[in-house]
Chain A
Amino acid sequence: MNYFWQLRREFTAFFYSPVAYVVIGISAILNAATFFLILRFLSGAGPTAGAPMEMLFSTALFWLIVMTLTPLITMRTFAEEKHAGTLETLVTAPISDTRIVLAKYTAALAFYAIMWAPTLLYPVLLTRWTPVDPGPVLSGYTGTLAMGAMLVSIGVLCSALTRNQIVAAIITFAAMMGMFLAGLFSYVDGVSQAAVFQYVNLSSHMESFARGIVDTRPLVYYASVAAMALFLTVQVIGARRWRR
């Protein structure tokens, strides 16, 4: 019960901050630019082929949005409460640390989803000129959201580790870049465990999702990392109550 109450507070709290509007604005502009460039490319001269929505989830601009804006969404979740001292009033209210962490996480994930919401207009627009296969569109969004569920959990953990929002954003970005780059090792010749790196290759995951393939292996990977990160967040927030 108080989970939902706290979730409501956490979600509305996003919109008190100008960061929220900046994030939504930048993602809308970058997505629109990507979409425009894709359409130009596909409608250009020469034998080009491809589905625009499929391409939307695998360009460099897609990763730019994910890697730079996700840390901005999650950076304030705990760091701001620690900085302002409000964490003390929050955790001394009758609500468990686990519920606080889950409420903050869910709110941040919902905001991440909202960041992508304007792009839902694109397939609708496309249907006026060309048939759109709903399958890959659906799986592309599923993948974006599922990967977001993992990345947001990492952001929340990083935010719990510091009282400085900028530091939280930077270490979140570093952690996410590390995960992204680790996957690229699967492309390097002569790497002995290329298959292992393939399991954590975010960019190849997204390419499959965008093509309409919903593979359970990345989903399990995202869910495990998210569960682990949230578990650790609860421990970090609860560390003040460790008997020393």
Chain B
Amino acid sequence: MIKVEHLTKKYAAVAAVDGISFEIAEREIVGFLGPNGAGKSTTLKVLTGYHAASGGRVTIGGKDVFAEPESVKKMIGYLPENVPLYPEMRVREYLHYRAGLKGVGRKRREAAVDGAMGRCRIDGVADRIIGQLSKGYRQRVGLADALVADPPILILDEPTIGLDPGQIREVRELIRELGKERTVLLSSHILPEVEAVCSRVLIINRGRIAGSGRPDELRAAAGQNETIIDLEIRDGGEDGHRVFEAVDGITAVDIEQGDGPVRRIRLRGEGGRDVREAVFDAAVAGGLKILSMGQRSHSLEDVFVDIVTREETPDEPAPPPAEAAAQEAP
């Protein structure tokens, strides 16, 4: 349904999106995940025809976005970042206007507007002025706008940003339901969101696709070769780095800086080995008192952070936070 080939978008000399390629099949819900500034919104703006690509090709429903913008735009319902709306209009009036602009015929318009308002649960504010609505309601008005012409493709840029937890759950439920009969591409920098809604995840970082797959695939792939141990210790003994790096099977030690004497430490070890006892013995020998210890395999969040940090420092390992902070200090 959506096919992106070697897409590049440059602003001045800087490439916001650098040669990415992916494909999205019909009725897939795909999450576009990445840190802020990774190129998510830029990619979505090219897909919706708002910006032109500097290079590469985007086809939607078999049509080139750049060559046939009009017919491509008809297929897409787009919710831009920050949900721009006309604050002086009333909700029903706005959706009615947008439905007409998107070519919904006069006879079907009333039903289309009512349907979209019902789905997004904004019928209660139908006659309110948009500028006086809360952020959550405005977000849902934007979503209703994306839906109103019943397009086969929905492109949603950060659809749940600014919503309260209850509303977030509602919107996720709605997106899941919409995804049964449509193709949905949504962007987010929040992991649980993507994990909760999407059938597939594209991780983008620094303008490149850094990983892609089903959430469980990504987790399984990462979990096989790494174990994580979270510790809380009381300071007072030897340096934590020296103590734990000496343990056989531990590959990385991250120590969180804190004010009090209690430190949180995250150890990364090889997958498939239980090194908890060795860690305990090493701590005792080093004079560090363990307050808590937990072992787990990778969460999707770790995968995400891993992929992103690995991309940022391709050649050298990331410095432990303690050292980094010391270097930055004047």
Contacts and interface: CB of A to CB of B under 8 A. Distances in A.
A92 to B, nearest CB: 5
A85 B54 contact: no
B89 interface: yes
Interface string B61-83: 00000100111011010101010
A43 interface: no
A242 B87 CA distance: 30
B202 to A, nearest CB: 21
Contacts of A95: 101
Interface in B220-273: none
Given A84-B87, A85-B84, A93 B101 contact: yes
B76 A92 contact: yes
A9, A86, A94: most-surrounded residue (chain B CB, <10 A): A94
A128 interface: no
A94 B87 contact: no
B48 A243 contact: no
B54 A16 contact: no
B101 A2 contact: yes
The interface residues of chain A, by DSSP majority, are classed as: helix
A244 B70 contact: no
A68 to B, nearest CB: 24
A92 B84 contact: no
B35 interface: no
Nearest to A244: B54
A92 B49 contact: yes
Contact of B50 (A2, A86, A91): A91
Nearest to B49: A92
Contacts of A85: 80, 82, 84
A192 interface: no
B103 A240 contact: no
A84 B51 CA distance: 18
Q: How large is the interface on B (under 10, 10 to 19, 20 to 34, 35 or more residues)?
A: 20 to 34
Nearest to B101: A93
Interface string A7-37: 0010001001100000000000000000000
A88 B10 contact: no
A86 B73 CA distance: 16
Contacts of B10: 244
Nearest to B94: A9
A86 B84 contact: yes
A89 B146 CA distance: 10
A6 B97 CA distance: 8
Nearest to B51: A240
Interface string A87-109: 11101111110000000000000
B211 interface: no
Contacts of A129: none
B101 A92 contact: no
A147 to B, nearest CB: 30
10 contacts: A2-B103, A86-B86, A89-B85, A93-B98, A93-B102, A94-B101, A241-B49, A243-B52, A243-B53, A244-B10
Given A92-B73, A243-B52, 18 more contacts: A2-B100, A2-B101, A5-B100, A16-B89, A85-B82, A87-B84, A88-B80, A88-B84, A89-B98, A91-B50, A92-B80, A93-B98, A94-B71, A94-B74, A94-B103, A95-B101, A242-B52, A243-B53
**6 pairs of A and B residues whose beta carbons are closest in the complex:** A85-B84, A16-B88, A94-B73, A241-B52, A86-B84, A94-B74
Interface of B: 10, 45, 48-54, 66, 69-71, 73-74, 76, 78, 80, 82, 84-89, 97-98, 100-103, 145
Interface of A: 2, 5-6, 9, 13, 16-17, 84-89, 91-96, 240-244
